Structure 1
Amino acid sequence: MKPNLRHLRVFLAAVDSGSISQAAGLCSVSQPAATQSIRKLEEHFSSKLFDRSPQGLLVTAAGGLLANRVRRAFALLDPTLGDLSPRLHLTATSSQLTALAAAVETENFTLAARKLGLAQPSVHRSISDLEKDAGRQLFERSSRGMHATRPALRLAQAVQLAFAEIYQAEAELGELSGREVGRIVVGAMPLSRSSILPDAIARFRRRRANLPIQALDGPYDDLIAGLRRGEVDFLLGAMRIPPPAGEVVQEALFEDELIVVCRPEHPLLDEADLKPAQLTSFPWVVNIPGTPARNMFEKVFSAPNRPSSLVETGSMVLMRELLQVTDHLGFISGLQIRSDLLQGMVVRLPARLPDTTRPIGLTFRADWVPTSAQRDLIADIRAATADIWGDGGEDGIRTHEDL
């Protein structure tokens, strides 16, 4: 359950003024209502936010943490609300904005209600009230369904990012009182799932045994969209050059080499000096279009030397199983398939291909401020990387034979 936005505004006013009565006046509520707002927030966050003294209200450590996050949340939310209507920041409620974000995502009131666990009329009423206060429609209705307007799209993203800050606050306040609250969501691309992330999570669990970690896989576009909405904390895997959006930053961890692999009995293993034409005459298993690995494959094997038989997949399992029973060749990260190489399930074909390295790293929102737990996991990812690749510099980048 999300905290009441008006309660959060009263809380910030009390932090800034050091007085419940002044906060009540600034927010146009009665003093008992302001007092109740603070009490409700203390119950919601299970934390004492103020100490009372003759000099006024003194913000506790928990109150200071919450105030920082709430300021960030309103800095994201209020400009977008103000663009719609000057008074909307005073009238919009958490339930209305949550309904809006769900409706924008699903483009359907019934699906939005199902996502939120509410009745469809409740979602419809929340959005209708929001549109009335905004003085404009936020969705365009037609016989084909409904579509969010540009202002609605901007507001939905601001809502999601603002509430993400509140979730971060809940995690920080929980840790301050010795509780593990919330979860860490990592957008894990294929390479990270098979090598770096398992080691990093094992390290993390030695210090934080219970905090949930969710490793999401899926198409890159879906993961980066989740990151930009605040649903994903950070991505780990192949970087995009240039970055996909202005509000996204990337941190390189190492350079990964893409190699050619095949079954141990493949006929090309008997060849001493492989020529490109020999490679293109065999069928291949490659990544799906648009991925960095596939883009590199297209550069190496451009027309007219492009193989005519391709199986496109993001599944390393499918690649491995197909290579073991056919003469297909696979184009994949050496680190990603390292375990299969060490077990002899596939082998590296002794063919050096030009320009087959790519940067692997972390992707964040530019203005993201991680919690202590998130910083710990990121530190463990960097440590796991250093163990595999030495100091992360050029001399620490190894080929499969070195590993």
Structure 2
Amino acid sequence: MRANLRHLRAFLAVVDHGSITRTAEICHVSQPAVTQAIRKLEREPETELFQRRAQGLFVTEPGTVLARRVRRAFGLLDPTLSELAPRLRITATTAQLVALVAVTEAENFTLAARRLGLAQPTVHRAITGLEREIGRALFERTPHGMIATRAAEMLTRATQVAFVELDQGEAELGELLGREVGRLVIGGMPLSRSYILPRAIARFRVRRPKLPIKVLDGPYEDMLTSLRRGEIDFLVGALRNPAPIGDVVQRPLFEDELIIVCGKDHPLRRGTPPASVADIAGFPWVVAAEGTPTRQVFTRLVETQGLAPRSLIETGSMVLMRELLQVSDHLGFISRLQIEPDLDLGAVHELAVPLPDTFRPIGLTLRDGWSPTRAQQEFLDELEAVVEAARTGEERRAG
């Protein structure tokens, strides 16, 4: 929902005071302007946000749902607006903030205008208006493009998460009115993509067969940035220790075991089984990238035994690991759950080597203070059901 910010502020004032007259006084606008703002907000969902009575305006259930999300949106946006300029809460417009986000992301006025379907001078005027109010430049011109200043980055992030709250308000209004609105955007790390998410999505589809679901992958740092911007609802996968930054929270779901695997024709499968990691350290290894929880466990494992493997291949691709193990003498260090289907098929084999402290927490990474919609909560419930089923060994097929 990209409603006029002034209309939304007027809407909240009517919720709080139940009076068009009082709202007009508070917001320093005319009574017809307040009435028009409410009507515009009611137009898109095609529902009444207030009951009109002789005693005043009384908020309806849809109005209450919307008001909750609008308050949360301004709670995220207003502190930054006030920090940058005292009057910015009053003067900043939706169009200006939309332009700010587009230029920050595109690092170019022309590309931002094209993305928004606007003329380049229109976008430039929007940014200039913000800069005039704030009293400083929001972008620095460099050979690589228009780079956002710290002030622009702060306001962009606050705008993005505030707009997500408004989108969630739209989804909740749709839910209340019997419509399927919105979508799920999930950041899936390797283990979740191969085990947890397929099962949770299958179960969720029984409840909601039509709601769009988008699962993103990529480097953890990129997904974390998207989560903090509100572009991703939550991340599922290995948790970081410590938590990566203060504005996200981690919620453990279960612990996953890391194991050593080899190909079916590996020489270690013949003769006496190895008794320790030291017996196999000389083989080449396929391991996760630096900075990942799996790699941290591997590094700790070999360092505590004074080992230095001579040959490492770093990859986040389980497919590449599996194929390398089948055609070479490489060993792999990977999650048991992630590689379990290949173990069951006999494509790879576990080496029964004692491995102390190779468990890692798997769970959710969420924005601090995030409040899920009903659909989002239902998906989280299904995730937890999948984890519980795996824990008890009683997994049920969806449907």
Query: Is the counterpart of residue 277 in structure 1 residue 264 in structure 2?
Result: no
Q: Who is 2:159 aligned against?
A: 159
In 1: Cα distance, 2:159 partner to 2:45 partner: 20
Match of 1:325 among 324, 327, 330: 327
Contact 1:269–1:350 (8 Å) recurs in 2: no
Q: 1:307 aligns with which of 306, 309, 322?
A: 309
What secondary structure, in the 3-state scheme, does the structure 1 residue paired with 2:162 have? helix
SS at match of 1:240: coil
- SS in structure 1 opposite 2:280? helix
- Contact 2:276-2:354 within 8 A present in 1 as well: no
Who is 2:366 aligned against?
364
For residues 99 and 349 of structure 2, the distance between their equivalents in structure 1, rounded to whole angstroms, comes to: 52
User: Within 5 Å, which residues of 2 pair with 1:207-356?
Assistant: 207-270=207-270, 271-302=272-303, 305-356=307-358
Question: How many pairs were matched up?
Answer: 392
| Mapping for residues 1-400 of structure 1, pairs under 5 Å | 2-270=2-270, 271-302=272-303, 305-390=307-392
Cα displacement (A) at 1:34: 1.2
Contact 2:277 2:354 in 1 (8 A): no
Listed one character per residue, the Cα deviations across residues 358-398 of structure 1 (whole Å, up to 9, x for unaligned) are 0001111121111111110000000000011129xxxx9xx
Shift of 1:19: 1.2
1:68 shift after superposition:
0.8
Aligned equivalents of 1:237 and 1:256: distance in 2? 10
Which residue of structure 1 lines up, in the alignment, with residue 397 of structure 2?
Answer: none
Distance in 2 between residues matched to 1:276 and 1:207, nearest whole Å:
47
* Distance across 1 between alignment mates of 2:115 and 2:330: 43
State which drifts further: 40-49 or 362-371. 40-49
Q: CA deviation at 1:121?
A: 2.7
Per-residue deviation, 1:275: 3.6
1:143: how far off? 4.6
Once the two structures are overlaid, the 10-residue window that deviates more, 371-380 or 102-111, is 102-111
Instruction: Find the aligned partners of 1:191 and 1:360 in 2 and give their Cα distance.
Output: 9
Distance of 2:237 and 2:99 partners within structure 1: 33
Which ranges of structure 1 fall in alignment gaps of 5 or more residues? 397-403
State the distance in 1 between where 2:377 and 2:120 align: 39
2: CA distance between counterparts of 1:117 and 1:35?
30
Give the alignment's TM-score, normalised by structure 1: 0.93
User: How far does residue 304 in structure 1 lie from its aligned partner after superposition?
Assistant: 5.2
Q: Return structure 1 stretches of 4+ with deviation > 4 angstroms.
A: none
**8 Å contact 2:186–2:234 — kept in the other structure?**
yes
Give the counterpart letter for 1:276 in structure 2: V
Tell me the percent identity. 60
Post-superposition offset of 1:45: 3.2
Please say which of residues 133-142 and 381-390 is displaced more in the overlay.
Answer: 133-142
Deviations, residues 312-348 of structure 1 (Å, cap 9, x unaligned):
1111111111111111111100001111111111111
Give the Cα separation in 2 of the matches to 1:388 and 1:118: 51
Q: In the superposition, relative to structure 1, how do residues 177 and 262 fare at CA in structure 2: closer, same or farther (>3 Å)?
A: same
Q: Distance in 2 between matches of 1:368 and 1:237?
A: 18
Q: In the aligned structure 1, how far is the partner of 2:182 from the partner of 2:46?
A: 14
Task: Say which SS state the counterpart of residue 262 (structure 1) adopts.
Answer: strand
TM-score if structure 2 supplies the norm length? 0.94
Q: Distance in 2 between matches of 1:176 and 1:145?
A: 44
Q: Distance in 1 between matches of 2:295 and 2:114?
A: 38
SS in 1 for 2:283: coil
Whether the 8 Å CA contact 1:3–1:44 is kept in 2: the answer is no
Structure 2 letter corresponding to 1:12: L
Deviates more, 1:367-376 or 1:123-132: 123-132
Structure 1 window deviating more from structure 2 (269-278 vs 287-296): it is 269-278
Q: Secondary structure of the residue that 2:354 maps to in structure 1?
A: coil
Distance 1:335 1:238 in 2: 12
Contact 1:106–1:112 (CA under 8 A) maintained in structure 2: yes
Deviations 1:40-91 (A, max 9, x none): 1111333321111111101010100111111111111112111222211111
CA distance in 1, matches of 2:307, 2:119: 58
Moved more, 340-349 or 295-304: 295-304
Deviation of 1:278 after TM superposition, in Å, equals 3.2
Equivalent AA in structure 1 for residue 347 of structure 2: M
TM-fit CA distance, 1:215: 1.0
For the 8 Å contact 2:251–2:365, the answer to whether it is kept is: yes
Give the direction of change, closer, same or farther, for the CA distance of 1:200–1:34 in structure 2 (3 Å limit).
same
Give distance in 1, aligned partners of 2:215 and 2:113.
26
Question: 122-131 or 109-118, which moves further after superposition?
Answer: 109-118
Alpha-carbon separation, structure 2, partners of 1:121 and 1:351: 66
Checking the alignment, whether the CA contact within 8 Å between 1:287 and 1:314 is kept in structure 2 is yes
Between the aligned partners of 2:197 and 2:28, the Cα distance in structure 1 is 50
Amino acid at match of 2:387: T
- Give the root-mean-square deviation of aligned CA atoms: 1.7
Structure 1: which amino acid aligns with 2:224?
I
Q: 1:225-283, CA deviations, whole angstroms, 9 ceiling, x for partnerless residues?
A: 11111111111100011111112111111110111111111110123233433322111
C-alpha spacing 1:251/1:110, structure 2 compared with 1 (3 Å): same
Query: What's 1:399 paired with?
Result: none
Distance (Å, rounded) in 2 between the aligned partners of 1:363 and 1:46: 35
- Unaligned stretches of 5+ residues in structure 2: 395-399
2-side partners of 1:156 and 1:146: how far apart?
Answer: 14
Q: CA deviation at 1:120?
A: 2.9
CA offsets per residue over residues 193-228 of structure 1, 9 Å max, x none? Answer: 111111111111111111111111111111111111
Paired AA for residue 378 in structure 1: L
Of stretches 9-18 and 349-358 in structure 1, the one that deviates more from structure 2 is 349-358
What amino acid maps onto 1:291 in structure 2? T
Query: Contact conserved, 2:72 with 2:162, CA < 8 A, in 1?
Result: yes
